[in-house]
Every structure is written in C-alpha cells, then in structure tokens.
Amino acid sequence: MMRLRSFLLARTLQLVALVALVSGATASTQESRFEHISGLRDKIQHFVDDHFKKEFGAQRFERDIRLRVSKLDQRLKLARCTKPISFELIRPAHTGRNVTVKTVCEAKQRWSIYVPVTLEIYEDVIVASRNLGRGTVIDADDVKAMRINTAGLPVGYVVDKARVVGMELKRSIRSGSYLVLSSLAQPRVVNKGDAVVVESRVSSLSVSTRGTALDNGQLGEQIKVRNNKSERVVDALVTGPGRVMVVSR
C-alpha cells in the first residue's frame, strides 16, 4: 500500500510539472506573438529624443528639453511587427506642450497607435519682479529673468530685458508673470491738452510755433494738433516729448 501511494504521488508530481512546462511554453509562445509594450515605449522615447536633439542641438537638448512618453496599457495586444516600426511626430500648431507620436506597423498584421508625449522647453524669460499697474513705464528693476517651461506659452514672450525697459504696460501684471510683446507699447510722450512745439518744414526751412495736442501720442504716432496762433487743426507726428512735426500733404 505504501509503495502504491508513493508511486501515485510521484506520478502526480510528474503530471503537475508537465502541465506547468506546457503552460509556460504556451505563454512564451503567445508572448512572442505580441510586441513587448515596455520595449515599444522605449523605442518611442528613443525616437522623440533623437528628433528634438536634432531640432535644438545636443547641448541645448541636454540642458533645456524634457520629454515624457505616456505609459502604454500593458494589456495592449499588438502583433509582433515583422517589419521596422515607423514613427511620425504630430505637433499641433496652437501649442507646443503636447505632441503625439503616430506609431505604425506596416506588416501583414497592420496596426497603428497614437502615443502622447509631454514636451517641456526651459528658457530664461522676462517676468515682472513686482505687481505692475497699467500705464507703468517699465524700469530695469521692474523685471527680471526667470527660468520657466515655455512649451505652452503664447507667441511673443520676451527673453531680452532690453526689449521691455522703457516700454509702457497696456494692462496690469502680477509679480512673477511673464511679459508678452502684445501687452507693451511705446510710452506716451504727449498727452491730450499738452502744450507742444509744432514744427513745419518747407524745403530747407524749419518753422516752429506753439500748439495744443488734441490727442494722446506715442513716439512716431500721428495726432491732431491745434495751432494756437491760427486756430487751425493739423495732423502732426510726435517726434519727442512735447514736440510734433506737421505732416505734409
């Protein structure tokens, strides 16, 4: 009886081992039929790294660029591609923050997936160093450079401090907020009601008289001015603080 039990136990263990071996082989065979998802994500990462390294240059890529390929669902069953997988970068025109990689297998069992990639581009951008009100003429101490991710910023952010110093804010801005060119204007050098010197040039002669500005004016802007002597209203270009030149017709 003991021998019989030992024999049956040994046979049972053999059968269990055989089932495990067959199951493992089957799983291995099934796995070899499909793309390894983690490996596929690595290939996509390599593709986008290579693309942006060429676009920005290797030095800037290492310093300023950060890329994150979205995780792929491990349950994806993509037939193992018998041809080289192709990758295409899709970059929306309205924003640079998120891009997509179209990943395609052109083999007999064709498949394609779209994989999101988060792009971060870091630059030293000019921001307000304190709260600034509308109409502020920006001084060097009003702004500073701050390293931020610019991938999602609108066109017109500023990286050169010299471009904003001396400009006037069209709207208020909070401390730490970035400046854009569309929110800046040349400062007024003439205000409505100001007394101005009105210059007229005829050939090589220059004549000056006194006038009153009827509009606000920035440097180079055309405004209406009343000649105080003749009471005539003329169009004039603002040439400097308190000075305008009659526009010839």
Say which DSSP state 99 is in: E
Say which DSSP state 92 is in: -
Count of other CB atoms within 10 angstroms of residue 81: 19
Q: Per-residue confidence of the chain (249 residues) as pLDDT tens digits?
A: 555 555 454 555 455 444 444 444 444 445 578 999 999 999 999 999 999 999 999 999 999 999 999 999 988 999 999 999 999 999 876 556 789 999 999 999 999 999 999 999 999 999 999 999 998 999 999 999 999 999 888 889 999 999 999 999 999 999 999 999 999 988 888 999 999 999 988 767 788 899 999 999 988 889 999 999 999 999 999 998 899 999 776
Q: Among 171, 233, 226, which Cα is nearest to 196's?
A: 226
Burial 119-154 (b: 16+ CB within 10 A, else e): bbbebebbbbbeebeeebebeeebbbeeebebbebe
Domain boundaries, the chain: 37-120, 122-185, 188-246
What pLDDT does 163 receive? 93
Tokens describing residue 75: 């349950």
The one-letter amino acid at 53 = K
Enter the pTM of the model. Answer: 0.66
The one-letter amino acid at 49 = D
Tokens describing residue 194: 């100001």
How far apart, in whole angstroms, are the C-alpha atoms of residue 190 and residue 237? 11
The one-letter amino acid at 32 = S
- The H-assigned helical ranges of the chain are 2-32, 37-56, 58-64
Tokens describing residue 125: 């951008």
- Which fold does the domain 188-246 belong to in CATH? SH3 type barrels. (2.30.30)
3.30.360.10, 3.20.20.140, 3.90.1210.10, 2.40.30.10: which CATH number matches 122-185?
A: 3.90.1210.10
Four-residue CA torsion sign, 65, 70, 74, 80: negative
How far apart, in whole angstroms, are the C-alpha atoms of residue 24 and residue 30? 10
